[in-house]
Amino acid sequence: MQNKARHIIEFETYADSSALSPADAALLEKARQTTTAAYAPYSRFRVAAAALLENGEVVTGTNQENASYPVGICAERTVLSVASGLYPGVAVVAIAVSYNNELAPSITPIAPCGICRQTLVEYEARYARPIRLILSGQTGEVIAMAKSGDLMPLSFSANSMK
């Protein structure tokens, strides 16, 4: 017998950041501004993430490239490491991700890569709460979703090792 399943991802789209809630707009603006701190001498694709923590603090992280490409780290994983290092045990409520592509316009939303999606799933499970994602470039359309784990259906988890 064959069973079928469906995974539906729900998200909101906005023409620009002016339609976001003040909290989401502020978090996205922080991510946009933080792209200048990214270390991206090879790709010239600067990515930043700003995370709102349960205690009200906001922390940021950027992509950090390396001449040996696999050694680099994405902004999403950097911001999660910063958050857990500075505020151990404090959950992440929301993360805004933006980028500045020095070689082309940065006007469409950016989504986390696969390894970052898996890491976001782990953090949602770790704190037993969803992480809201706000995704955009320097200008233009914004995508917001209530649960970052929706980006990674059938993810590997602690249950996978039982």
Domains of the chain: 12-152 (3.40.140.10)
Residue 75 pLDDT exceeds 90: yes
Greater confidence (31 vs 5) lies with: 31
Q: Dump strand ranges (E) for the chain.
A: 12-14, 45-53, 58-62, 92-101, 132-136, 142-145
Share of the chain above pLDDT 70, in %: 100
- Amino acid code (one letter) for 28: L
Residue 48, pLDDT score: 98
Catalytic residues: 76
Residue pLDDT, tens place only, 57-66: 999 999 999 9
Laid out side by side, the sheet with 12-14 consists of 12-14, 142-145, 132-136, 92-101, 45-53, 58-62
Residue 1 has pLDDT above 90, yes or no: no
pLDDT of residue 120: 97
**What average pLDDT does range 69-77 have in this prediction?**
95
Higher pLDDT, 72 or 157: 72
Give the separation between CA 11 and CA 30, rounded to whole angstroms.
Answer: 21
> Could you tell me if 143 and 109 are in contact, meaning their C-beta atoms sit under 8 angstroms apart?
yes
